Amino acid sequence: MRDTDRALVQAATAVAKLRCRSDNHTVAAAVRSTDGRVFSGVNVFHFTGGPCAEVVAIGAAATQGAGELEAIVAVGDRGRGVIPPCGRCRQVLLDYFPSIRVIVGPPDGLRAVPVADLLPETYVWADQQPETPAAPRTGVWPMPVVPGVRQSAED
Ligand SMILES: [Zn+2]
C-alpha cells in the first residue's frame, strides 16, 4: 500500500472515532480524488435503507467539486478497523469510478484492490442496454384477464 493509502485509512479512522458515537453513525469512509484531496462521510442508519458511509463520502466529494476518485476505505466504529464495502456499494463504486481502488483486508494485511476485483462477473449497466430502443410505453397498465375469476365489484 502507498503512503497515501495509509493516510486515507488514518483519515477514516479519525472520523470514525470522532463522529461515530451512536447507532445512527457506525462507519466512516474516506475517499481520495486524483488531485489528492480527501473527503469523508459517515453512514446514516435508517430502517428504510439509509446510505452507507462510502456513498455519503462520494456525495461529499461531489459536493466539493471533486472529479475522479482513486481510492476509498471504510472504517467501523469502536475499533473495528477497515471493513469491506457491501454489495450495493461495490456496484455503485464500479459504476461511478471503474478504476477506483478499495482498501480491504485485516489490520496487518491491508491492501488496495481494484473495485472490479471485488465484483467478479459483474453487471455493467451500460453494457446491458439494447442497441434498439424498446417500444414506447403506452401509459396504460396492462390488465390481464384471468379466466374464471370475477371482478370483486360483480359480487
Ligand atoms: Zn454499502
**66-97 pLDDT per residue, tens:** 999 999 999 999 999 999 999 999 999 999 99
Residue 134 lies in a domain: no
User: Which residues, 6+ apart, have CB-to-CB distance to 37 below 8 Å?
Assistant: 61, 64, 66
Separation between Cα atoms, residue 53 and residue 25, nearest integer Å = 9
Query: Between 42 and 148, where is the model more confident?
Result: 42
pLDDT bin (cut points 50, 70, 90) of residue 46 is very high
Residue 146 lies in a domain: no
Full residue range of the structural domain in which residue 88 is found: 3-125
- Residue 31 CA, ligand 1 centroid: distance in Å: 14
**How many residues are given for the chain?**
155
- State the average pLDDT over residues 56-65: 97
CATH code where residue 117 lies: 3.40.140.10
Please, are residues 41 and 69 in contact by the beta-carbon 8 Å criterion?
Answer: no
- Residue 14 CA, ligand 1 centroid: distance in Å: 19
Q: How many CB atoms lie within 10 A of CB 133?
A: 7
Total domains, the chain:
1
Q: Which helix (H) or strand (E) holds 76?
A: strand 69-76
- Residue 86 CA, ligand 1 centroid: distance in Å: 4
CA angle 50, 56, 60 (to 5 degrees): 150
- State the average pLDDT over residues 145-150: 66
Cβ density class 105-121: b for 16+ within 10 Å, e for less = eeeeebebeebbebbee
- State the average pLDDT over residues 96-124: 94
Just list the catalytic residues. Answer: 54
